[in-house]
């Protein structure tokens, strides 16, 4: 498909007025970005991401789901590709689908977030937290799908690993939104991988939090900021 140079003709169809055409185009380019980073880049070079603000807020849930699935393959790419998603201001819309979408859409959004925590650098992952991903991400830990629970736990674990000096503040955010309670409950899950990972996260990042609950830093009214210009704390709040 790439060799036939059809991609530049496919991309404009992502904004076609016929939903059937949009869906077919989205599925076609979505299949291309499941390939190598080089194949993904061909799609990105055609300005594909400019179509996604509309696709991610489309009234048809199926289109939203496919759009988030597409982006989960981009966030699994290299750091420049992850940055392209951030620069296109798509993180808030992915998070909106994570929060308000139907379960199948939320599932794709969980993959998109978790992939970013694997492929992204510290600043990129901090941006995710800054955009408010933690509460809706943790909320999915209460679902019944073991695969989704595993994906979310992996993502949380990766964020905590990358948080550096901000690990206590991040752990606090997870506790405040009810995430810690859910992780604690998952220590009793029947899936071995889930309960082991839940146990490891608690052991590594939350055992001291339980003891030092009165010493934990308080969040500002607007939530934690990871932008160094916010001055929370004075040296800047950033991974």
State whether 161 and 196 are in the same domain: yes
**Is 35 contained in some domain?**
yes
**Is 116 contained in some domain?**
no
Q: What is the pLDDT of residue 125?
A: 97
Q: Which pair of tokens denotes residue 142?
A: 């209460």
Check: pTM over 0.75? Answer yes or no.
Answer: yes
Q: Which pair of tokens denotes residue 211?
A: 């003891």
State whether 67 and 24 are in the same domain: yes
- The full length of the chain comes to 239
Find out whether 125 and 116 touch, Cβ atoms under 8 Å.
yes
| Gyration radius from the chain CA atoms | 19
Last residue of a domain, one of 62, 81, 108: 108
Q: What value does the mean pLDDT of the chain take?
A: 89
Q: Which residues of 112-134 are buried (b: 16+ CB within 10 A; e: fewer)?
A: bbbbbbebbeebbbbbbbbbbbb
Q: How many domains does the chain have?
A: 2
Say how far apart CA 69 and CA 25 lie, in whole Å: 13
Structural domain of residue 204, as residue ranges?
121-239
pLDDT along the chain (239 residues), means of 10: 75 97 96 95 97 98 98 98 98 98 98 98 97 98 98 98 95 97 97 97 84 46 42 44
Cα-Cα-Cα-Cα dihedral sign, residues 37, 42, 47, 50: negative
State whether 153 and 91 are in the same domain: no
State whether 6 and 84 are in the same domain: yes
State whether 94 and 127 are in the same domain: no
């Amino acid at each position: 498909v790439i060799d036939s140079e059809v991609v530049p003709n496919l991309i404009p169809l992502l904004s076609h007025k016929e939903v059937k055409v949009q869906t077919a185009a989205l599925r076609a380019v979505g299949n291309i970005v499941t390939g190598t980073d080089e194949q993904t880049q061909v799609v990105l070079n055609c300005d594909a991401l400019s179509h996604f603000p509309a696709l991610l807020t489309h009234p048809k849930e199926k289109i939203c789901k496919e759009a988030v699935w597409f982006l989960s393959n981009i966030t699994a790419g290299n750091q420049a590709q992850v940055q392209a998603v951030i620069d296109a201001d798509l993180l808030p819309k992915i998070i909106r689908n994570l929060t308000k979408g139907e379960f199948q859409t939320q599932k794709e959004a969980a993959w998109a977030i978790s992939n970013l925590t694997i492929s992204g650098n510290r600043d990129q992952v901090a941006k995710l937290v800054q955009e408010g991903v933690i509460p809706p991400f943790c909320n999915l830990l209460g679902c019944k799908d073991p695969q989704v629970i595993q994906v979310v736990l992996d993502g949380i674990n990766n964020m905590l690993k990358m948080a550096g000096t901000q690990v206590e503040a991040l752990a606090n955010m997870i506790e405040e939104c009810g995430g810690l309670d859910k992780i604690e409950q998952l220590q009793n899950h029947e899936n071995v991988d889930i309960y082991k990972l839940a146990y490891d996260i608690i052991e590594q990042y939350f055992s001291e939090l339980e003891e030092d609950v009165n010493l934990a830093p308080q969040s500002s009214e607007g939530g934690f900021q990871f932008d160094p210009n916010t001055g929370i704390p004075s040296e800047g709040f950033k991974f």
